[in-house]
Chains A and B, each alone.
Chain A
C-alpha cells in the first residue's frame, strides 16, 4: 500500500465494502441471537405471570386440594407447599455438610491427582440425569419400604451434592494463601486453621452456593416422582410419610384435562418461578459481593 491509494481510508473499494457488509451482517445475527434468548425468557416469564398471578391467593397456600370437587370449592395446594419446604430443607441439611467436607478435602488436603479425580467425580455425578437419580433412589430405598418424604429429600441431596461441593471448592480457592500461612506460622495446627480461619472466610460463599443449589433442586420433579409422590391431600410435615411437592403437583395438574387444574398449576408455577428467579439472581449478586470481600481479606 503506498501513499497514493490513501483515499481508501475514506472511500473504500468494493472489496472492503463487501467485507464490511459481511461484518455488519454477522454482527446483526449475533445481536439477534442474544435478543431471541432474552425474548424467550421474557415470553416464558410473562405467560406464567399472566396466567398464574390472577390465580394466586391465600387459599392456594393454606387450603388442601379437594378431590372430585364439584362446583366452586375453595381448594389449594397447601400439602405441596408444606412438602416442598420439608423435602428441600432436609435435602439441604444432608447435602451441604457433605459438600463442604468434600471441598475442604479437595482444597486443603488432597494431592493433585486425587483433586482432579474428585473434580471429575463431581462432574460425572452432576451429569447423571435426574430421572436416573430418581430410579436409583427408588431401587435403593423405596422398593420394599414405600415412598417417604426423607427418601425424596435424599434423592434431591444426591443432585445437590455436586453443586454444593463445586461452589464451595471455588470459594475456598479464593481464600488467600497468606491467611493460611499467617495462622500456620503462629503454630496453629492445620485443622484449626481450616475450621477457624479459612472456613469462616467463606460464609458468604456457602450462603451463595446453598441458595443456588436450593433454587436448582426446588424445581426438580423427576427424582421425586418415584420417591415421594403417591400422596394424600391432607397437609403433612412428617418426612416419614410420602409428601407432595410443588413441582410434582404442577406436573400432575398439567396432565389433567380440567382447566381449573391448569389454573392451579399456573399459580403454583408462578410461585415456583418467582422463587427460583429471585434465588438465582440474589445468589449472583451475593457471589460478586462475597468474592470481593474474600479477596480483600488477604491484603
Chain B
C-alpha cells in the first residue's frame, strides 16, 4: 500500500503497530507461570523424595531391593518383601479386574438397552468415588471375615494342591484380601477407559462385520478387540498404577507382615505403599525414615514410568484411530 502524497507517518499507517498490551502480557505470564508450576512441582516432588532417601540409598544401595526384613533396631532394612507384596496384590487385582472390566465395557457399549446404559455407567463410576479408607474399613471388618470363613477354606480344600492357596489366615487379613479390595478399587478405572475405547471403534467397522453375518460376539472378537487392544493395554497399565500406589485400604487389610515372602496368598504381607502408611508415624531413626523415603522413591519411579508409557500407548492408538476414521 503506497500512498505517495501522504504527509506524515500516521497517515501512511492507519493502524498503530502491534504493541504488547499489559493485560495480555500479565494474563499470559501468570497463566504460563501456573502451568510451569505444575511441571516444577513434579521436579520438586522427585527432588524431595530422592533427597529424603539419600541416607538409605548410601547405606544400603541396590541391596535394599533384595533384602527381606525390616529390623530398625539393628538397622537391617530391606524392601524385597514389600516389592513382592506389591507385585502379588496388584497383579492379582489386575488379573481379576481386567476380564470383569472387559465384560462391563462390552455390556455397556454393545448390549445394554439405552435406558440401562446411563444409570449403570453412573453406578460403576460411583464405585470409584468411594474413599479408599471406607473400602478398607469394609474390607477389614466385613470382607475379611467372610473370605476367612467361607472363601479361603473352600479354595484350600478344593485347590489346595496349588501352593498359592495354602492354609487360610486366622484373621482374614492378608495378600488375598488385599487383592480383592484392590480389584474393587481399580475396576471402575479399567472399565471406564475400556468403555471409551469400545465406543471409539467406528460404527462402520462394526456394521461391516455384522453385514457379513457375524454374531455380536464374533464382531467384538474380530473387530472391536483388535481395534481397542493397545488402548486396553493402557487401561490396564493405569489400573496397575492405581493398585500399586494405593496405601490406605491395603494397609488396613493386608495384615502388616514385614519379613515374609510366602507363596501362600492367605498369609499376611505388606506393600510398598502400605508399609509407608503404617510405619511413618512410628519411625524411630533417621535411617528408618530415610528407608521409607526409599520405598516412596520406588513407587514414584514406577508411577512415572507407567504413566508415560500409558500416555505413549494411548497416543499411538489415537493416531491409528485417526487413520481409519478419516
Contacts and interface: CB of A to CB of B under 8 A. Distances in A.
A254 B140 contact: yes
A106 interface: yes
Contact of B102 (A33, A192, A222): A33
Interface stretch (B1-9, B44-52, B69-77): B44-52
Contacts of A269: 133-134, 137-138
Nearest to A103: B31
B107 interface: yes
Contacts of A131: 245, 247-248, 273, 276-277, 296, 299
A102 B34 contact: yes
Contacts of A266: 137
B104 A105 contact: no
Contacts of B39: 117-118, 121
A102 B39 CA distance: 11
A289 B11 CA distance: 52
A40 interface: yes
B241 interface: yes
B205 interface: no
A165 interface: yes
B134 A48 contact: yes
A222 B274 CA distance: 10
Interface residues of A, number: 89
Contacts of A190: 21, 23-24, 27
Contacts, number: 276
Nearest to A219: B131
Given A27-B217, A105-B34, A131-B276, A265 B137 contact: yes
A290 B51 CA distance: 45
A127 B307 contact: yes
B293 interface: yes
Interface stretch (B121-129, B152-160, B259-267): B121-129
Residue among B241, B273, B296 with max Cβ neighbours from chain A (10 Å): B296
Nearest to A122: B38
Given A20-B215, A215-B129, A280-B129, A250 B137 contact: yes
B54 to A, nearest CB: 11
Contact of A104 (B27, B102, B120, B215): B27
A189 B24 CA distance: 7
A32 B120 CA distance: 13
B24 A251 contact: no
Interface stretch (A61-69, A85-93, A223-231, A291-299): A223-231
Interface string B104-117: 10111011100000
A73 B278 CA distance: 29
B247 A40 contact: no
Nearest to A270: B134
A34 B42 CA distance: 37
Given A124-B42, A127-B241, A276 B131 contact: yes
* In the A-B complex, the 8 residue pairs with the closest CB atoms: A219-B131, A129-B245, A33-B103, A105-B31, A101-B34, A191-B23, A131-B247, A127-B307
21 contacts: A26-B217, A30-B107, A44-B127, A121-B39, A124-B304, A125-B38, A129-B245, A129-B300, A130-B247, A132-B45, A138-B280, A139-B52, A216-B129, A221-B132, A225-B281, A247-B131, A247-B248, A251-B252, A262-B141, A273-B131, A276-B130
